[in-house]
Amino acid sequence: MKISVIIPAYNEEEYLPQTLAHLVRAAVILPHESEIIVVDNGSSDHTKRIAESLGARIFTEREPSIGKVRNTGAQNSFADVLIFVDADTFVPETLLSQIARAMEDEKCIGGAVAVEYAGIKRKSMQLYLMGWKFWGMLFNMKQGAAQFCRRAVFDELQGYDATVFVGEDVEFYWRLSRFARKNGGYLNFIEDQKVTTSGRRFEKMSLWKTLLLTHPVFIYLAWRKKSLWKDWYENAVR
C-alpha cells in the first residue's frame, strides 16, 4: 500500500510548519511507503518555501477553488490511498497507521476523521459548533480537515467538484457514500482519534457572518456562488 497525504495551502506560513511536523511524526511509524504533498494556491507569504524546507513535494494550483487544489494534489501523487488534510490541522501520531489498517479491508472505500477546533473562546461559537456536530451526524456531513479514500475510487468519481467553492468536502463525501452503498462497500468514520484544526474563523469573523457563512443550509444553497465566498478566498481569515 502506498499513501499520499495532500495538503491544500494558501498563505499558511503560521500553521503549516506544525501541520507538517505532526504528519512527519505520523509517517515515521507508518508501515507503508508514503509521501506528503503541499499544493500552493498562489500564496504571497512563505508557504511554499516552508513546505520545501520540511521535505514536502510542492505543486502549484492558482485557480481559487479548494476542490481544484485538492484534485491537483491527487493528480500528482503516486499512491493508491489518498489522505486529504487541511494546512491548519494537526493529526495524532498514530492516525495515519489507523487509516492504513482501515484501508487493508478492500470493502473500505474511504472515510473521514472527527474534528475538534482549537482556540474557540467565545461561548456562542462553542454552542454553535456543538449544534453543527448534531447536524453533521444527521445529514452525514464529514469535514475535509481530514478525509481519505482509495485512489481508484477518487478517479472514478472525478475527485472533488471544482465548481463548489465551500462545502466541496461534504459534497464529495456524499458521493463517496453513494458509491460505497452501490458497490457493497462502506466508509470508516474515525472518532476515537480526532484531528485538531484552527478555530481562527470562529474567533476572528463577526458572529453573524460566521453563523451565516458556516450554516449548512446556506452553504448548500450557495456553494457554487463564488462571489459569496471572499472570506474563504480573496479575504481569507489568517
- List the CATH number of the domain containing 56: 3.90.550.10
Rounded-to-integer distance, Cα 202 and Cα 215, Å? 12
Cross-sheet strand order for the sheet of 2-9: 57-60, 33-40, 2-9, 81-85, 146-150, 108-118, 186-198, 89-90
pLDDT over 90 (residue 23): yes
pLDDT at 62 over 90: yes
Q: What is the pLDDT of residues 135-155, one digit of tens each?
A: 777 778 888 899 999 999 999
Q: What pLDDT is stored for residue 128 in this prediction?
A: 82
Is 10 part of a structural domain of the chain?
A: yes
Residue 235 covered by a domain: no
Domains contained in the chain, number? 1
Confidence of residue 116 (pLDDT cuts 50, 70, 90): very high
- 233 inside domain: no
The β-bridge relationship of strands 57-60 and 81-85 is: unpaired
For residue 80, being part of any structural domain is answered with yes
Residue 18 forms part of a structural domain:
yes
Per-residue confidence at 127, pLDDT binned at 50, 70, 90?
confident
* Residue 208's pLDDT band (cuts 50, 70, 90): confident
Which distant-in-sequence residues (6+ apart) come within 8 Å of 2 by Cβ? 32, 33, 34, 78, 79, 80, 81
Q: 232: pLDDT confidence band, cut at 50, 70 and 90?
A: confident
Identify the pLDDT of residue 204: 85
Q: Report the pLDDT value the prediction gives residue 66, as an integer from 0 to 100.
A: 96
Mean pLDDT of the chain: 93
How confident is residue 228, by pLDDT bands cut at 50, 70 and 90? confident
Read off the pLDDT of each residue in 5-23 and give the average, rounded to a whole number.
97
Quick one: pLDDT at residue 157? Answer: 98
**Quick check: is 210 in a domain?**
yes
User: Is the confidence at residue 132, as pLDDT, over 80?
Assistant: no
Task: Give backbone dihedrals phi and psi of 107, rounded to 5 degrees, phi first.
Answer: -80, -15
Residue 236 domain flag = no
Task: Return the HEC string of 28-85.
Answer: HCCCCEEEEEEEECCCCCCHHHHHHHCCCEEEECCCCCHHHHHHHHHHCCCCCEEEEE
237 in a structural domain: no
Q: Domain range holding 109?
A: 2-228
